[in-house]
Amino acid sequence: MIKQLMNQIEKTKAPICVGLDPMLSYIPEHVVKKSFEEFGETLEGAADAIWQFNKEIIDCTYDLIPSVKPQIAMYEQFGIEGLKVYKKTVDYCQEKGLLVIGDAKRGDIGSTSAAYAAGHIGKVTVGSRTYSGFDTDFLTVNPYLGTDGVKPFVDACNANDKGLFVLVKTSNPSSGEFQDKLIDGKPLYELVAEKVVEWGSECMDGEYSNVGAVVGATYPEMSRILRKLMPHTYFLVPGYGAQGGTAEDLKYCFNEDGFGAVVNSSRGIIAAYKKDAYAKFGPEHFGEASRQAVIDMVTDINRVL
Amino acid sequence: MIKQLMNQIEKTKAPICVGLDPMLSYIPEHVVKKSFEEFGETLEGAADAIWQFNKEIIDCTYDLIPSVKPQIAMYEQFGIEGLKVYKKTVDYCQEKGLLVIGDAKRGDIGSTSAAYAAGHIGKVTVGSRTYSGFDTDFLTVNPYLGTDGVKPFVDACNANDKGLFVLVKTSNPSSGEFQDKLIDGKPLYELVAEKVVEWGSECMDGEYSNVGAVVGATYPEMSRILRKLMPHTYFLVPGYGAQGGTAEDLKYCFNEDGFGAVVNSSRGIIAAYKKDAYAKFGPEHFGEASRQAVIDMVTDINRVL
């Protein structure tokens, strides 16, 4: 699976994913109004607005990008109706040829992780048949429970040619509270990184492993160290743009082969029309604003590679 | 909210929750067959079998217990159809007067955790209205991202009188891989425990905080230490029964007031009819087997308190 992502990155020259993390406040009024007119101010109405918003952004950007990263929480907050639109978004992106990184940060004890893996990147057996519940190409995973909580996800990758990104060093302000704490002189995130390499060694797909790592753009010194520790691990890099990470901060996430990282931007792309730089598009053309923001992001990143 | 749980524990004399974590393999053949006859070997058929199974177990045990803990992964694996039955189960348990601990182990960066909190224990705003997506009474939370990833859940507890259980020391075999690592001479789980106490201090509800901790029954020496470190924190204790924890292992999870812990059993209760001890009930009376298993579990735990 990681080879497929690399191929699509090579084709588009865009080592990025667009974070489809819609908040209702990001969606232009005319879109929300239309959905509310049809479905009322209901969970269904909110979900429809999100779907219309996503669809327009996908239609305006899919030919420029290799992948998207829907954040499931933004759908889950609207309950079942929201999750239906998560699934619809996943399917639509895949129809458009995009790889989908489900950002779910799941993780539990072994048998429970196996259920999550089946639902998101695997198959569940029902009588004599099998089904895939959400069926994304990649999934983000939380490592706090250790190997037996991660292993079922790795197994699902091997069985179905899928990929993972395991949280190593996250982009948020308080990520250091536990992740940076020193254990025998090494921060916890390095210890997690070593485990990710170990888990990933069973899952190689060419030069890189299908088991990747989440490494925030907001801590460039740490990503430099992690890049060396994990030469065959792909990084999913959140934190560029709205969270404060710059292109210069990102360069250490890449290897000398130009591969090794896929950089996410959510708000910076999907709510671009709200920024001064793209205000000229206006809310009516929010999709075009997102397209221009993608072009600018790719230029910005390629400048430092 | 924690006071409400304590009241219900006092009333039932049962410091337990029943883990509604159905696997299709736990469900008696006659139940599965009936659902497949109606809906086919489909996700809907699987979900219906789970619902019929849950309903029978709830009907047979609700008067004996204060709370249930559905593990959302077991529903999520069946996609949207599974999640509909998660919601239906939550609602039905609440109608029966049970408190529901949603075992979802969510956790992300701040704005994303806020979305999870809204969906599971809070409210989401849609135009001029608000809705609750899943609306459980408690939620389990993963602390790997630190304070800003947990704070939105704490805020939702305060706004809606709900409760949390934050993962501190989990019950699985490899939980020690990261959680036991020493940081300045103290294991990581103690550091997390200190933070849980800090987060919970803003959330007191009588003698205990609405911010509780997950502490596995399988590591009794550690729960003894954690009990002392967190005198006003309620423990959700997985690992009793099928995972190997005994009643003797549990006693350190309780305070001298007889409160302080709610012990979970999943397979041991819901699949009781498959165990030799309850085989006499037969698959036809699996609900009665679960009822007897609850009675025996409560007796076993109260014996050591």
- pLDDT, chain B, mean: 97
Residue B32 pLDDT: 98
The tokens 């696997």 sit on which residue?
A: B23
- The nearest CA of chain A is from the CA of B106 a distance in Å of 7
Whether pLDDT at B15 is above 80? yes
Q: How would you classify the pairing of strands A235-237 and A261-265? A: parallel
Cβ–Cβ under 8 Å, residues B150 and B113: yes
The answer to whether residue A302 neighbours chain B at the CB level (below 8 Å) is no
Phi, psi of B16 (to 5 degrees): -135, 165
Stretch B66-87: mean pLDDT: 98
Contact yes or no for A178 and B170 at CB 8 A: no
Would you call B192 an interface residue with chain A, using a CB distance cutoff of 8 Å?
yes
Dist CA B149 CA A241 (whole Å)? 19
The DSSP bridge partners found for residue A18 are A68, A265
Q: Tell whether B174 lies on the interface with A, counting CB pairs under 8 A.
A: yes
Between CA B91 and CA B97 the distance in angstroms is: 10
- Is B105 among the residues known to form the active site? yes
CB atoms within 10 A of CB B25: 9
Distances (CA, A) of A259 to A8, A14, A15, A192: 12, 11, 8, 22
Per the residue annotation, which of B105, B162, B251, B274 is the catalytic one? B105
Please state, in angstroms and rounded to a whole number, the distance separating the CA atoms of residues A196 and A147.
Answer: 9
The shortest CB-CB distance from A119 to any of B21, B79, B178 is to: B79
Residue B5, both tokens: 């749980």
Using alpha carbons, select from B122, B195, B157 the residue that is nearest to residue B2.
Answer: B157
Q: What is the pLDDT averaged over residues B164-172?
A: 96
Amino acid at B144: Y
Beta bridge partners of B68: B18, B100
| Residue B241 pLDDT | 83
B251 against B154, higher pLDDT: B154
CA distances from B72 to A148, B76, B105, B192, B263 (A): 19, 6, 9, 24, 18
* 10-residue stretch averages of pLDDT, chain A, 305 residues long: 98 98 96 98 98 98 98 98 98 98 97 98 98 98 97 98 98 95 96 98 96 94 95 96 85 94 97 97 98 97 92
Q: CA–CA distance from A258 to each of A12, A16, A275, B38, B95 (Å)?
A: 13, 13, 30, 54, 57
Q: In this structure, are residues A15 and A300 in contact, taking their beta carbons and an 8 Å threshold?
A: no
**Distance (Å) from the C-alpha of residue B85 to the closest C-alpha of chain A?**
10
Mean pLDDT of B55-75: 98
Q: How far is B10 from chain A (nearest CA, A)?
A: 30
Show residues of chain B in contact with A196, CB under 8 Å.
Answer: none
Nearest to A107 by CA among A139, A133, A140, A141: A141
Would you place residue B305 in the very low, low, confident or very high pLDDT band (cuts 50, 70, 90)? confident
CB contact under 8 A, A174 and B80: no
Secondary structure (H, E, C), A287-299: HHHHHHHHHHHHH
Q: What average pLDDT does the segment B286-295 reach? A: 98
Average pLDDT estimate for B222-240:
96
Q: Judge whether A158 is closer than 8 Å to chain B, CB to CB.
A: no
CB contact set of A175 (below 8 Å; sequence gap of 6+): A169, A216, A219, B145, B146
